[in-house]
């Protein structure tokens, strides 16, 4: 009898095990003893932060800006024949300029989803709020970059093909994320302490929730301001969010780097990581300052004519003649007289008669091109210029002039306080130099009525140069590169020359660039059917205008 009972009970246990195991997923059923699938949220955040610049794997905006920085003529390729100088799209099986796609869906993706989920489960509301903030930033960047993207079906691991959603859907979702983020960041109950947030937030805001909220409002301001061409554009909403957003250089959203001897802890554009070096035509990463930015700052342009901008020596590079000059798009540097060729961003002279130190020395690098230089994601100067344009469009010209003045001033202060490293002693900006520049009648209109869109957009272009490339591209696409201000008969971006003829990429069919195609080794290989539906298989897909810039 005893034996029968024990046999029965064993059978029962076996049945029980069998029944429950069928309902479990593999990760639940078999915990991995070497790598737990659940990690502390504090360890997820640093990786997400690095994605907003360039992460240890070399992915992030800094990777892509090397290419699309040529669309807006922040940069120019040092050789001729650069595809991006010619506003060409990525072709063939290349993943150039497709890093944002990867960081959004892969590097941030499920990691951020987990941080939000676990943050809420563990009552670390601020981590969940920060996760939504980073996602809001990332979704907006993704759609401003690619246009239609996968939103509603994203992060579904049970699916094999994915439908694309409209840009309008993504914009709405960004605002939803922003609102949810603010709600979570407002919570101080549970384990939502600044001390604990600081553990994961060391390289961004150091655990300061008030600053994170300003970051979120900045994304909100961007999302409303990008729609200037629409009848629904609301300048009041933009101004409202600008006033809540980053308004002080101390609140600038910056990814910071430890800058140790380990490559991955350094700025992607610094000499140690060496990502701006190649002069081969295929990669086009050897970039120089363009003629457009150089002429905005050296007095050679037709708008700020004759005005020497002292900020040039903080962000641009000189040459053997001691002047600031740029490289023309698609023309390369060799057509320039040797003594006029600007140095590379690592301070390497391009004049063959000058000897250089090899390898590149960090002590010769400035601005965002140093190993440990922080990388600005959103700055107070950007918000000031967004506000200036919104007020200008609303018809409040005195208000616009005040914000415009504030924007220039904040950029000066940002450079002198946060990016003064390695600037030659003779070129260090003094308060008198700043005042003189800001008082110049070419820069500062005598009356509010004399302020123009060109003032705002060109000074914004200077203030965002190098780091806020995607935002600058969004601006220029809003103005279709060459739109004129009503009544002036003058292009808003004065002196900006659109590539044409042999300087415009052949696939463009005469059109300007408006988007980057989705990443090849994600979509063109594994999701090709859907690309056909949205027209992304066309060779000139990159010239298709986006929703945000259309009426």
Partner 1 sequence: MNEKQIAENFRASYATGYVLNTLNVGTTRNQGVEVSLDFTPVKSKKLTWTSQINFNHMWNEVISLPGNVPEFYISDSWVYANARGGLVTGGPTTSITSFGYSRNNKGDLLINPTTGLPISDGAFKVHGDRNPDFTLGWTNSLKFKNFTLSFLLDSKVGGDIFNATEMYLTIAGLSKRTDDRYTPRVIKGVLNDGLQNSATPTVNNIAIVPAYNQAFYTTAMPEEEFIQKDVNWVRLRELTFKYTFPANVYRRLRSVTSLSAFVTGNDLFMFSNYLGADPAVNANTAGTRGVGAWGFDYGNTPTPISINLGFKVGF
Site residues for partner 1 per CB under 8 A? 101-102, 105-106, 109-110, 113, 150, 153-162, 519, 521-523, 525-529
Please count the residues of the chain. 551
Q: For residues 331 and 80, is the Cβ–Cβ distance under 8 A? A: yes
Q: Which of 249, 548, 252, 235 is nearest to 400 (CA)?
A: 235
- Measured between alpha carbons, how far is 65 from 331 in angstroms, rounded to an integer? 20
Contacts of 50 (CB under 8 A, 6+ apart): 56, 60, 203, 255
- Measured between alpha carbons, how far is 217 from 196 in angstroms, rounded to an integer? 23
Q: Which of 279, 276, 278, 260 is nearest to 268 (CA)?
A: 276
Q: How far is the CB of 164 from partner 1 (least distance, A)?
A: 9
Q: For residues 494 and 481, is the Cβ–Cβ distance under 8 A? A: no
Q: How far is the CB of 505 from partner 1 (least distance, A)?
A: 23
Q: How far is the CB of 45 from partner 1 (least distance, A)?
A: 17
* Closest CB to partner 1 among residues 148, 343: 148
Q: For residues 391 and 400, is the Cβ–Cβ distance under 8 A? A: yes
Q: How far is the CB of 543 from partner 1 (least distance, A)?
A: 24
Alpha carbon 6 to its chain centroid, in Å, reads: 67
- Measured between alpha carbons, how far is 377 from 427 in angstroms, rounded to an integer? 26
**For residue 195, what are its two tokens?**
């001390």
Q: For residues 378 and 410, is the Cβ–Cβ distance under 8 A? A: no
* Closest CB to partner 1 among residues 33, 158: 158
* Closest CB to partner 1 among residues 146, 325: 146
* Closest CB to partner 1 among residues 517, 519: 519
- Measured between alpha carbons, how far is 420 from 430 in angstroms, rounded to an integer? 12
User: Where are the extended beta strands (E) located within 174-314?
Assistant: 253-255, 287-289
* Closest CB to partner 1 among residues 2, 25: 25
Q: How far is the CB of 116 from partner 1 (least distance, A)?
A: 13
Q: How far is the CB of 149 from partner 1 (least distance, A)?
A: 9
* Closest CB to partner 1 among residues 20, 156: 156
Quick check: helix, strand or coil at residue 220?
A: helix
Q: How far is the CB of 175 from partner 1 (least distance, A)?
A: 21
- Measured between alpha carbons, how far is 491 from 510 in angstroms, rounded to an integer? 19
Contacts of 272 (CB under 8 A, 6+ apart): 263, 266, 362, 371
**For residue 41, what are its two tokens?**
């949220």
* Closest CB to partner 1 among residues 47, 277: 47
Q: Which of 224, 222, 201 is nearest to 212 (CA)?
A: 201
Q: How far is the CB of 522 from partner 1 (least distance, A)?
A: 4
* Closest CB to partner 1 among residues 139, 205: 139
Q: How far is the CB of 146 from partner 1 (least distance, A)?
A: 12
């Amino acid at each position: 009898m005893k034996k029968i009972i024990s046999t029965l009970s064993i059978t029962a246990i076996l049945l029980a095990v069998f029944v429950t195991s069928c309902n479990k997923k593999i990760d639940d059923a078999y915990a991995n003893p070497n790598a737990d699938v659940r990690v502390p949220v504090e360890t997820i955040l640093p990786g997400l932060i690095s994605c907003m610049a360039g992460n240890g794997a070399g992915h992030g905006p800094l990777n892509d800006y090397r290419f699309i920085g040529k669309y807006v003529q922040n940069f120019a390729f040092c050789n001729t024949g650069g595809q991006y100088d010619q506003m060409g799209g990525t072709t063939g099986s290349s993943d150039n300029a497709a890093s944002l796609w990867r960081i959004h869906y892969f590097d941030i993706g499920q990691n951020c989803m987990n941080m939000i989920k676990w943050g809420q489960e563990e009552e670390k509301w601020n981590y969940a709020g920060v996760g939504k903030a980073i996602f809001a930033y990332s979704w907006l960047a993704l759609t401003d970059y690619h246009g239609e993207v996968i939103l509603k079906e994203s992060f579904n691991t049970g699916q094999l093909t994915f439908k694309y959603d409209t840009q309008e859907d993504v914009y709405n979702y960004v605002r939803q994320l922003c609102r949810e983020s603010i709600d979570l960041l407002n919570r101080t109950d549970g384990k939502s302490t600044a001390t604990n947030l600081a553990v994961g937030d060391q390289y961004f805001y150091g655990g300061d929730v008030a600053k994170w909220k300003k970051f979120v409002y900045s994304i909100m301001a961007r999302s409303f301001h990008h729609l200037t061409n629409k009848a629904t554009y609301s300048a009041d909403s933009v101004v409202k969010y600008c006033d809540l957003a980053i308004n002080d250089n101390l609140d600038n959203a910056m990814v910071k780097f430890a800058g140790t001897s380990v490559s991955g802890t350094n700025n992607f554009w610094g000499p140690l990581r060496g990502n701006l070096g190649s002069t081969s035509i295929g990669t086009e990463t050897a970039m120089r300052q363009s003629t457009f930015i150089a002429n905005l700052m050296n007095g050679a342009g037709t708008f700020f004519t004759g005005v020497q901008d002292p900020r040039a020596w903080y962000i641009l590079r000189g040459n053997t003649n001691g002047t600031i000059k740029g490289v023309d798009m698609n023309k390369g540097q060799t057509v320039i007289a040797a003594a006029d060729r600007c140095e590379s961003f690592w301070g390497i002279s391009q004049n063959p008669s000058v000897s250089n130190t090899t390898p590149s020395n960090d002590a010769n690098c400035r601005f965002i091109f140093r190993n440990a230089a922080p990388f600005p994601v959103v700055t107070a100067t950007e918000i000031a210029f967004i506000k200036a344009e919104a007020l200008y469009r609303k018809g409040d010209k005195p208000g616009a002039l005040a914000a415009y003045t504030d924007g220039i001033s904040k950029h000066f202060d940002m450079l002198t306080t946060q990016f003064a490293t390695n600037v030659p002693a003779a070129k260090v900006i003094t308060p008198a130099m700043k005042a003189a520049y800001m008082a110049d009648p070419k820069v500062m209109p005598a009356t509010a009525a004399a302020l123009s869109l060109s003032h705002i957009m060109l000074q914004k272009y200077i203030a965002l140069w190098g780091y806020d490339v995607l935002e600058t591209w969004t601006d220029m696409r809003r103005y279709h590169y060459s739109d004129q201000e009503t009544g002036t008969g003058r292009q808003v971006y004065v002196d900006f020359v659109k590539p044409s003829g042999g300087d415009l990429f052949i696939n463009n069919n005469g059109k300007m660039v408006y988007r980057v195609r989705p990443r090849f080794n994600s979509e063109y290989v594994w999701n090709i059917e859907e690309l056909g539906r949205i027209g992304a298989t066309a060779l000139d897909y990159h010239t298709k205008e986006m929703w945000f810039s259309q009426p």
